[in-house]
Amino acid sequence: MRAIRMHTTGGPEVLTLETVPDPVPGPGQVLVRVEAVGVNFIEIYQRSGLYPIALPSIPGSEGAGTVVALGEGVTGITPGARVASVAFTGAYAELALAPADALVPLPDAVSTRQAAALMLQGMTAHYLACATRPLAPGDTCLVLAAAGGVGLLLIQIARRRGARVIACASSDDKRARALAAGADFAIGYDAIADEVRRLTAGAGVALVYDSVGRTTFEASLASLARRGTLVLFGQASGPVPPFDPQELNRRGSLFLTRPKLGDYTATRAELLERAGDVLGWVADESLRLTIDRELPLSAAAQAHTLLASRATSGKLVLVPSLEG
């Protein structure tokens, strides 16, 4: 099969298209013919060495496709079934393995390309809005990187829960996209806290969703209302420096959490609930999914460059069949 492999950490150029042996499913595993792959920041962190991984490696964990073969002990799944997962081993490939209990069946109305674009970001937006501190009607929240894949979905789910949304994005075009997704207000990255205070009559917001990290952390804290919650779920600009928790006290008994999706899909039931909600909302068209562009596997380096430059709005998807 064809796959993207990296033999060393470094820039996007370390991602190369190679021919490698087909994987074979072991006990409890399922082999899937990958039809679409979701590209995510975690693969950039792994490629750069920020998150250490064993090398050589095929990147990627999010994808969707068709079941090809079952490992020993797998029941309840049949070859030919359409499935998606965020737990593939080496999704940047034509074939990939996943644990059977990490696969989610796809509704007929959702394509594999949509599923690959939705699973990680959709379930992330779901747990952010519904579980970290559940948004309630009347809450106001601030969403940073609001025109990104998670941001556009989070805006919609927050509005679905009755919250008001202040979206923060880096350009007029991206702010327009956030407003089209349902945000009540859209601001830039200059003077974030001042703008938030102006839009909330000085009160601040109940929640800030920050996937940017280092460059926005201070502004995120300064935007919170008393007993507000900062949900730091990414670090696109780099990790946050060491931080004295006493600052949370001084600023109004604030809360700070650094969650990850795995802890909010820790059981099979929770995985199926979150995935089922977002897939169902896409199927009935009450949740609008934005795919920025679809690229062939060989363009994985280009995809990483685009994602890291924040030059995208919505999801980047690699499609093996586009190689021709």
pLDDT digits (tens, 9 = 90+) for 125-180: 999 999 999 999 999 999 999 998 899 999 999 999 999 999 999 999 999 999 99
**Rounded CA gap, 310 and 147, in Å?**
10
**Rounded CA gap, 252 and 221, in Å?**
10
Predicted confidence (pLDDT) per residue in 254-266, tens digit: 999 999 999 999 9
Q: From the CB of residue 158, how many other CB atoms can be counted at a distance below 10 Å? A: 28
- Kindly write down the DSSP assignment for every residue of 150-209, as one continuous string: HHHHHHHHHHHTT-EEEEE-SSHHHHHHHHHTT-SEEE-STTHHHHHHHHTTT--EEEEE
What token pair was written down for 68? 């090809």
Find out whether 34 and 93 touch, Cβ atoms under 8 Å: yes
pLDDT number for residue 236 = 81
Q: From the CB of residue 19, how many other CB atoms can be counted at a distance below 10 Å? A: 9
CA distances from 16 to 121, 163, 307, 313 (A): 25, 44, 18, 25
Domains and CATH numbers, the chain: 2-119+266-323 (3.90.180.10), 122-262 (3.40.50.720)
Reported as a pLDDT band with limits 50, 70 and 90, residue 310 is: confident
**Rounded CA gap, 235 and 275, in Å?**
24
Predicted confidence (pLDDT) per residue in 72-106, tens digit: 999 999 999 999 999 999 999 999 999 999 999 99
**Rounded CA gap, 65 and 34, in Å?**
5
pTM for this entry: 0.92
